Amino acid sequence: MKFAFCNEMFGQEPFDQVASTMRALGYTGVEIAPFTLLPPTEAFDARQVPAARRREIRQQAEAAGLEVVGLHWLLAKTSGFYLTSPDGATRRATADYLKALVELCGELGGTLMVLGSPQQRNLLPGVGYNDAESYAAEILREVMPACAAHNVTIALEPLGPAEGNFMLTAKSGIQLAKLVDSPHCRLHLDVKAMSSQAEPIDVIIRESREWLAHFHVNDPNLLGPGMGHVEYGPILTALDEIGYSGWLSLEVFKYEPSPREIAEQSIEYLRKIEAAIANDG
């Protein structure tokens, strides 16, 4: 199994130091939140990330022995973009920005973009779910040629009801991907989000096998795998059974006792389960 981490958990720590630390712990991939590439601003715009900074991040990842998986938190901390807006100008602006992110992803060496960003996709007043889904599909279809040109896949991330009211289940994510109708639009699954669904997580994984492109590991308590109540044995077994060959990417939302300790405990826990599955096989 391939282990990656989401870099925003380290805040403003120098990327080269973070990359070296995480590689030493056994991680071989890094998933980047675009807003971490520049100093904090009121409204982030990925198009302002200089070419030199893009080259620097890619070179530092490679020097540490890490593969850049891609991007997530795509629309977080931005202004003027919205995935389910009824306003045509807003949809065009959002599509153009996602195209710019695809280019950024490719220049960093990544091949995958996780589309979560609940605050830029939740239903707006007066907009029904079907219309919102249609607006989102329109935007994503426009972005697909750029994805094909840069070999980037957009992985749609269902989130739980605590985060919003649009695309809350794997089935709804698959439905949107079907509307987009491109091999470059697939599904992302997140353990914390799936924990809010009625179906067991391993069942969701098996039902989503034809669409699954990426996977986040964490716990509903906002910490890492093995640090809460979710048992990962059935989860990793299901991923193994469906032949999932992508990343297990650590995304947490609490950083105590420290990002490094969380990363270390998480990968140790996952490796123990991986070894048990291999022994059983």
Q: What are the tens digits of pLDDT across the range 252-269?
A: 999 999 999 999 999 999
pLDDT at 236 over 80: yes
**Taking the domains of the chain in order of start, what are their residue ranges?**
2-280
Mean pLDDT of 210-222: 98
- Would you state the pLDDT for residue 41? 86
- Would you state the pLDDT for residue 104? 98
pLDDT band per the 50, 70, 90 thresholds, residue 281: low
Q: What are the tens digits of pLDDT across the range 154-186?
A: 999 999 999 999 999 999 999 999 999 999 999
Residue with tokens 């195209």: 99
- Would you state the pLDDT for residue 26? 98
What CA–CA distance (Å, rounded) separates 73 from 183? 21
Q: How many CB atoms lie within 10 A of CB 17?
A: 12
Please report, rounded to a whole number, the percentage of residues in the chain having pLDDT higher than 90. 98
- Would you state the pLDDT for residue 206? 98
∠ CA(37), CA(70), CA(253), 5° rounding? 70
pLDDT at 71 over 80: yes
- 169 close to 189: Cβ distance less than 8 angstroms: no
Average pLDDT, the chain: 97
Non-local (6+) Cβ contacts of 145 within 8 A are none
Non-local (6+) Cβ contacts of 148 within 8 A are 182, 184
CATH of 2-280, one of 1.10.10.10, 3.20.20.150, 2.40.30.10, 3.40.50.2020: 3.20.20.150
